[in-house]
Each structure stands twice: as C-alpha cells, then as structure tokens.
C-alpha cells in the first residue's frame, strides 16, 4: 500500500526542513510520497483547500491512502500503516500539554482514498485558522463512515437545581458585590451540552455576569470555564480551566485585596493565581445575572442547564474552606457556617438545590429567597425547579484514534489565545461550522474536491518529494 503524506505550508522554511528530514528518516522503509502544498498568495491561509490540492497530486502518484500532516508535528512513535477507516493520529505529544478534546480531528489524520472521495474532501471555504477539521468529521458522520462515539451519562446525583432552558431564562439579582474589596464568588452549575443547540452563533455562555464591562463566570466553545474581568484601564483579563462535561462543577473566585491576589478554584482545586496590578473596573450596575450575560443581548448569551447555588462573601475564603464547600455539595452552605464564618461574611446566597422560592412561583416568573438576608430579592424568569434526573444522556461522534506520539515544533499561537480567537476569520469559520450543525448537514455536495479551483504557480519533484506552489 502506497502512502501519500500531504503537508499544507506557508512561510515556515525552518519547520519544513526539520519535517522533511524527520519524515524521510522515519519512513525510509515504507513506500510513500511526500507532497508539500504551498499557498503563495496573500489571502488568509486555507488549510482544507491546500490538502484537497495535495490529495489530487497523491492520486496522480497512485497513492492508496493519505495522511494529512501539519508541518510542526514530528513523528516519534507513529504507526503510518494503512487503515480502512479514517483515523486521527495527533493525540500524544512529548513536549506539549496540548489538550486533546473528544471531537478534535486536526493535526495529523489518515484516510483511505475511497472514503476521502466519498465525503468530497475538505470544505474549500474555511479561510484562516480553524474548523475545517470539525467540518470534515461532520461529513464523516453525515455519510455514516465509521467514527467512534461517546455517551455522557447523566450524573446519578440526588440533587435539584433551577433549570434554565436557554430561551430568555435567567435570574436577576440585586448587585451588592464590591469588586475592589475582599470577596469570594462561588457558583455550582451544569451546562446541558458541550455546544448548546439553542444558540449556535455565539461562543460564550454566562453562568454569572455583572454586565457593562462584563465581569463573568462562563463556559465557552473551547471547552473551557472562564472568569473574565476588566481593570480600570479597560484591559480585559481572564483565567480559564478545563470544562468537564456533563457533571456539576464548582467554580470559586477569591480576591485578597491586601495581597492583590486573585485565585480561581475548580471543584476545590486551585487552578491559577494572578497578581492584580490595577483595580477592577466596577461599573456599579444595579443587577447581576445568573444564566445570562446582559439583558440587552440575552438572545445571544442565554445559558441552558442547571444552577444549584450561588454565593458571595465579602472576604477571600481560604483553600480549606473552598475544599469544604466542594465536599459538602448537595447540602446547604449554612449547614457548616461556623467553619468559614459565613454568618458574618456570607452576603448573598441563593440555594436552588433546596428551591427557596415564593409559594406562588410559576414557570414564567418567581421571586427567589436570598438565604443570607432572608429576603425574596431576586427574580427568576422562564426557569423550572427540577431534578437532574430529568436530563437525558447525550451521545456525540468522535474520531477513531490510533495512539501516536509526536514532537511539536514551537511556534506562535495561530488560533486560540487567552480565552478567544486571535483573528476575525476564525470567528467567521466558527459561525459557519455552527450554522451547519444548526441545519444538521454540511454542504459536501457543493463544496470540496468536486468544486476545487486554484492556480498552479510551480511544481517541482525529486524522488519521493513534490513541492507544489499555488494561488487560491
């Protein structure tokens, strides 16, 4: 079986030299062709289109199967042998802690020729970094080509919460939070889905927000939890942690004014500590929200899932106190108030686990009891008190994987950086892909190998190596 290694390329001569030397040494006993496709114009990089062009060259070279290979991944322990199903290979690294999320299908992937033709190749329409690989995985799923699957079971927790269904549902709370004094913010919540089906055109969903120059606790489409705040010079700062679907997660944020330290804890464990050089930008908004970013844009930031408690202390809790909160999940924070002095410092506490709502609470609206003040001061809109047992398990398609190990060549981040996309083109790619999910189909019949157009600038071949320069 003849292998075609196809590499999309632009302006990384040092990487290409290292890669060529590495792959030639690694595959010295294998029948293969190395095909590098260079984008020589000034348009945004189009990885999918370059790989389609390389695939056509691999067919001319009579390759039986192909591996689409990023130039910055050097093989250390990789099985490049034939497979009759598509495989994802870029799943282990010797010098990087890069997260491999369940649906990741980029970096290095192996395809038999016939199946790549069946899905009409990559889309040609993803300009800039990202999402052409997600689109390809969706094409495989749509054509019933073998992929693995993962089912997320509903956690068997005997607990309740307030359920926000994502359609203008949220809790509006009077804002007595003082960001520039000692504080602890704590929320326990469980999003319904990895990428919420009700709102595909936005990439962040707030569980907590003080709007304006938003101070938020959110989760996003990068599978990250995120705490975001702005300083008085209007510079945005973030702390993120890995998103563990589908379980309840405790996010706790503490600020110690005397030491100028901000900490983020997830499920009782310290994730990150930052030194705060400038004061928080506190817009003194009258309200904060649970399940919403801002009422003015609520149709774009509505959260769907469970929230079972929110609390605010006017002191930074210590690590043992935060661990105690996590370990006592399912019980009221007031049960152990002596341990962390909550009777004095707990200023806001909404305990949705035990549904402290007005007697005449209805689906459309209802007042929520603040247990710290014993007042019904918050209003819940379009939410439902219910148990977690009402949520069904979810199954998603994930690529079949062959365990491999690569060395990553260091380079500047091209896509995701400090909680967001580096370029607008990637943001547009994300919207394009989410729109396909929303419509539950790709446009593989009208976009791919069959519609590929480009201008060939040059083609040089020597032995097993071909270098194609093109304009798109």
Q: Is 466 a residue whose pLDDT tops 60?
A: yes
- pLDDT-wise least confident of 50-59, 77-86, 88-97, 98-107: 98-107
Q: Is position 155 within any domain?
A: no
Residue ending a domain, choose from 390, 425, 441: 390
Claim to verify: residue 165 and residue 259 sit in the same structural domain: yes
Q: Average pLDDT of 160-168?
A: 77
Among 34-38, 95-99, 214-218, 411-415, the range with the most confident prediction by mean pLDDT is 34-38
Burial of 231 (0-12, 13-18, 19+ CB in 10 A): middle
Claim to verify: residue 255 and residue 346 sit in the same structural domain: yes
Q: Is position 333 within any domain?
A: yes
What's the pLDDT at 385?
65
If you average pLDDT over every residue of the chain, what do you get?
83
Among 198-202, 206-210, 327-331, 430-434, the range with the most confident prediction by mean pLDDT is 206-210
pLDDT tens, position by position, 134-158: 899 989 988 888 777 776 554 444 4
Claim to verify: residue 63 and residue 164 sit in the same structural domain: no
Q: Specify whether the CB–CB gap between 415 and 221 falls below 8 A.
A: no
Claim to verify: residue 382 and residue 434 sit in the same structural domain: no
Cα 301 to Cα 428: distance, rounded to the nearest angstrom: 18
The size of the chain, in residues, is 472
Q: Specify whether the CB–CB gap between 250 and 326 falls below 8 A.
A: yes
What's the pLDDT at 283?
76
Q: Average pLDDT of 92-102?
A: 81
pLDDT tens, position by position, 414-445: 665 555 555 667 767 776 776 676 566 778 88
Residues of the chain with pLDDT > 70, as a percent, come to 80
What's the pLDDT at 13?
93
Residue ending a domain, choose from 359, 390, 421: 390
What's the pLDDT at 332?
64
What's the pLDDT at 298?
47
- pLDDT-wise least confident of 118-122, 190-194, 291-295, 457-461: 190-194
Band (284; pLDDT cuts 50, 70, 90): confident
Q: Specify whether the CB–CB gap between 95 and 38 falls below 8 A.
A: no
Band (89; pLDDT cuts 50, 70, 90): very high
Overall domain count for the chain? 2
Which CATH number covers residue 124? Answer: 3.90.550.10
What's the pLDDT at 54?
97
Q: Which residues contact 301 (CB under 8 A, 6 or more apart)?
A: 199, 202, 204, 205, 206, 209, 292, 293, 294
Taking residue 455's Cβ as centre, other Cβ atoms within 10 Å add up to 10
pLDDT tens, position by position, 375-424: 888 988 877 766 544 445 566 778 999 999 999 998 776 665 555 555 66
Band (338; pLDDT cuts 50, 70, 90): very low
* Paired strand residues for 407: 74
Q: Which residues contact 95 (CB under 8 A, 6 or more apart)?
A: 407, 408
pLDDT tens, position by position, 289-334: 998 887 766 445 578 888 889 999 999 999 988 988 887 665 666 6
pLDDT tens, position by position, 45-71: 999 999 999 999 999 999 999 999 999
pLDDT tens, position by position, 363-377: 457 788 888 888 888
- Distance from the first to the final alpha carbon of the chain: 31
Claim to verify: residue 383 and residue 401 sit in the same structural domain: no
Band (339; pLDDT cuts 50, 70, 90): very low
pLDDT tens, position by position, 244-283: 666 788 999 999 999 999 999 999 999 999 998 888 988 7
What's the pLDDT at 410?
83
Q: Which two tokens stand for residue 377?
A: 């001061």
Q: Is position 383 within any domain?
A: yes
Which CATH number covers residue 258? Answer: 2.60.120.200
What's the pLDDT at 23?
96
Q: Is position 178 within any domain?
A: yes
Structural domain span for residue 31: 3-150+397-471
Q: Is 199 a residue whose pLDDT tops 50?
A: no
Claim to verify: residue 354 and residue 421 sit in the same structural domain: no
Claim to verify: residue 361 and residue 417 sit in the same structural domain: no
What's the pLDDT at 428?
73
What's the pLDDT at 337?
43
Greater confidence, 5 or 309? 5
Return the ∠ at Cα 386 (arms to 382 and 390), rounded to 5°: 110
Claim to verify: residue 216 and residue 349 sit in the same structural domain: yes
Claim to verify: residue 303 and residue 342 sit in the same structural domain: yes
**Helix/strand/coil (H, E, C) string of the chain?**
CCEEEEEEECCCHHHHHHHHHHHHHHCCCCCEEEEEEEECCCCCCCHHHHHHHHHHHHHHCCCCEEEEECCCEEEEECCCCCCCCCEECCCCECCCCCCCCCCCCCCEEEEEHHHHHHCCCCCCCCCCCCCHHHHHHHHHHHCCCCCEEEEECCCCCCCEEEEEECCCCEEEEECCCCCCCCEEEEEEEEECCCCCCCCCCCCEEEEEEECCCCEEEEEECCCEEEEEEEECCCCEEEEEEECCCCCCEEEEEEEECCCCEEEEEECCEEEEEEECCCCECCCCCCEEEECCCCHHHHHHHCCEEEEEEEEEECCCCCHHHHHHHHHCCCCCHHHHHHHHCHHHHEEEEEEHHHCCECCCCCCCEEEEEECCCCEEEEEEECEEEEEHHHCCCEEEEECCECCCEEEECCCCCCCEECCEECCHHHHHHHHHHHHHHHHCCCCCCCCCHHHCCCEEEEEEEECCEEEEEEEC
Q: Is 197 a residue whose pLDDT tops 60?
A: no
Residue ending a domain, choose from 390, 418, 442: 390
Claim to verify: residue 404 and residue 375 sit in the same structural domain: no
């Amino acid at each position: 079986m003849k292998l075609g290694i196809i590499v999309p390329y632009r302006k990384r001569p040092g990487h290409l030299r290292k890669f060529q030397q590495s792959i030639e040494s690694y595959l010295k006993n294998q029948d293969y062709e190395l095909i590098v496709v260079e984008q020589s114009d000034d348009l945004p990089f189009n990885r999918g289109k370059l790989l389609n062009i390389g695939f056509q060259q691999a067919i001319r070279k009579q390759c039986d199967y192909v591996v689409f290979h990023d130039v910055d991944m050097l093989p250390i322990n990789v099985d490049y042998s034939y497979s009759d199903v598509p495989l994802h290979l870029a799943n282990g690294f010797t010098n990087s802690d890069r997260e491999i999320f369940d649906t990741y299908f980029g970096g290095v992937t192996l395809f038999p020729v016939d199946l790549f033709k069946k899905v009409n190749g990559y889309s040609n329409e993803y300009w800039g970094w990202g999402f052409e690989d997600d689109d390809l995985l969706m094409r495989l799923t749509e054509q019933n080509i073998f992929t693995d699957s993962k089912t997320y079971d509903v956690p068997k927790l005997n607990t309740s919460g307030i359920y926000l269904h994502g359609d203008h549902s949220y809790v509006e709370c009077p804002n007595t939070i003082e960001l520039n004094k000692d504080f602890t913010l704590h929320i326990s919540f469980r999003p319904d889905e990895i990428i919420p089906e009700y709102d595909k055109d936005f990439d962040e969903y707030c569980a907590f927000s003080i709007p304006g120059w938003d101070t938020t606790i959110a989760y996003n489409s990068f599978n990250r939890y995120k705490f975001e705040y702005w300083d008085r010079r209007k510079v945005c700062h973030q702390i993120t942690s890995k998103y563990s679907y589908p379980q309840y997660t405790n996010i706790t944020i503490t600020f110690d004014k005397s030491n100028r330290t901000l900490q983020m804890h997830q499920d009782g464990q310290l994730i990150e500590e930052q030194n705060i050089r400038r004061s928080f930008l506190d817009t003194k908004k009258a309200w904060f929200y649970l399940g919403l970013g801002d009422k003015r844009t609520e149709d774009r930031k509505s959260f769907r899932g469970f929230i079972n408690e929110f609390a605010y202390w006017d002191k930074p809790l210590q690590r043992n106190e935060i661990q105690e909160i996590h370990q006592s999940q399912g019980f009221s924070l007031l049960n152990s108030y002596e341990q962390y002095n909550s009777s004095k410092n707990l200023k806001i506490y909404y305990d949705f686990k035990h549904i402290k709502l007005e007697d005449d609470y209805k689906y459309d609206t209802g007042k929520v009891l603040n247990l710290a003040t014993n007042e019904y001061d918050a209003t819940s809109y379009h939410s439902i008190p219910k148990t977690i047992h009402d949520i069904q398990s979810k199954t998603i398609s994930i690529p079949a994987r062959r365990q491999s190990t690569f060395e990553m060549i260091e380079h500047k981040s091209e896509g995701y950086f400090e909680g967001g996309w580096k370029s607008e083109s990637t943001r547009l790619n994300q919207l394009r892909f989410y729109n396909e999910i929303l419509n539950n189909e790709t446009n593989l019949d009208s976009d791919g190998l069959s519609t590929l157009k480009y201008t060939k600038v040059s083609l040089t071949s020597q032995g097993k190596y071909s270098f194609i320069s093109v304009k798109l």
